[in-house]
Amino acid sequence: MKEPQPKNTAATVADVARLSGVSKATAARVLGGYGTVSDKARDAVMLAAQELDYRPNELARSMTTGRSGTIGVVVGDIENPFFGSAVRGISDAARASGFNVVLANSGEDVAAERAAIETLVAKRVDGLIVSPAQESAIGHLEDIGHAGRPLVLLDRAIAALAVDSVTADDRQAAEAVTRLLVERGHREIAYVTACDTPTHLYRDTRDILTASVRERIEGFLEVGAQAGIAEMPRWVRLGANTPDATRRLTIDLLREATAPSAIIASDSLIALEIFKVAREHGIEMPEALSLVTFHDAAWTAVTTPPVTVVRQPVYEMGEAAAKMLIERLSGERCAPRHLVLPTQLVERASVAVRGNQSASPRIRSL
């Protein structure tokens, strides 16, 4: 026989043991790489394994060892470059330690998130990294702990949950961004974010169920208050969950009697849509409208004007989360750690000095 011909049924340790004339236990020792075996036996087993084209069944292995070598990741949307980078960071760090990544998309929906976590736990992932959609519904996150699996929260911490987390310094970043705008003379500054309050209307920071979003809004309001801008809260706009929603919301915003002279976007997808709307309506940037966004997406450097951004170390956040999780998996038992990574304000050219504005950005047509 020349080729390891496709077997009608895959070879098992028992098959290899039989062919090589040793016991199942010995064959398993060789194939599994544990215990002590003589060279003779090892050679015989390896030969037989090759002959039969033996492939270990990790499922069976996981069942007895209780470890699957897999970490589950639940994010809002992999299509969002933010999560794309984060997942890349996670997956690189995981692979470096011999772990695989099972990915699940929640679509920022709690029910989907719950279902995803349920199956991931049932599939016996060794641990999870989750970017929770809301911090109110945490039952399913607590269950992860009950099931004896470590959990690391990514990008969105939850105070009520005693688990590790990796976030960016959102509060500080929001303050810096708002301060920049205020210093440039802006007083009508809108903050556009994806968030899921039923009304889509902002009332109180306590309505905001996502820590990172809330902290940013708090920073935004705080700096506004310090600068003596009374109307700040009315410029907070929620519900930019899809490009379409963002578009409608932006148009509404720019149609108001007093349109904002600057907009802060909470992620690059939102910024992109705002950029499109401004362009379609002939609103000059930054003269008529300044724009700042969270997330230094690749494209923000090539637009006209290039966009001033808050650079979050996204890849590193994912990497750090994976490393933390793997530490827990290796037996680390210390108190929950909350890693807060610094952000960086990258000034490009999308912020104008207010006094120089040539025109109100307001959309007049229609």
Partner DNA sequence: ATGCATCAAGAGACCGGTCTCATTTAAAAA
Partner DNA sequence: TTTTTAAATGAGACCGGTCTCTTGATGCAT
**Binding region for its own copies (CB under 8 A):** 4, 6, 10, 53, 55-60, 62-63, 68, 70, 77-79, 81, 84-85, 87-88, 91-92, 95, 100-105, 119-124, 145-148, 269, 272, 275-276, 279, 297-299, 301-304
Q: Is the Cβ of residue 218 or residue 287 nearer to its own copies in the bound state?
A: 287
**Helix, strand or coil, per DSSP, at residue 285:** coil
**Helix, strand or coil, per DSSP, at residue 291:** strand
Residue indicated by tokens 């809301």: 134
Residue 146 binding DNA, by CB under 7 A:
no
From residue 334, alpha-carbon distances to 4, 238, 328 in Å are: 50, 37, 9
Residue 68 binding DNA, by CB under 7 A:
no
In terms of C-beta density within 10 A (0-12 exposed, 13-18 middle, 19 or more buried), how is residue 248 classed? middle
Residue indicated by tokens 């992860």: 144
Q: Is the Cβ of residue 26 or residue 241 nearer to DNA in the bound state?
A: 26
Q: Is the Cβ of residue 23 or residue 344 nearer to DNA in the bound state?
A: 23
- Reported as half-sphere exposure (CB side, CA atoms, 13 A), residue 288 has a value of 15
Residue 134 binding DNA, by CB under 7 A:
no
- Smallest distance, its own copies to C-beta of residue 258, A: 26
CA 164 to chain centre: 15
- Single out the segment in contact with DNA by CB under 7 A; choices: 61-69, 166-174, 265-273, 305-313: 61-69
Choose the contact partner of 325 out of its own copies, DNA, none; CB within 5 to 8 A by kind.
none
Choose the contact partner of 23 out of its own copies, DNA, none; CB within 5 to 8 A by kind.
DNA
Residue 330 binding DNA, by CB under 7 A:
no
- How far apart are alpha carbons 55 and 61 in whole angstroms? 12
- Smallest distance, its own copies to C-beta of residue 81, A: 6
Which residues, 6 or more positions from 194, have their beta carbon under 8 angstroms from its beta carbon? Answer: 108, 213, 238, 239, 240, 241, 246, 266, 267, 269, 270
**Binding residue (CB under 7 A) for DNA from 18, 46, 51, 61:** 61
Residues that bind DNA (CB under 7 A): 9-10, 12-14, 21-26, 28-29, 31-32, 34-38, 40-41, 54-57, 60-61, 63-65
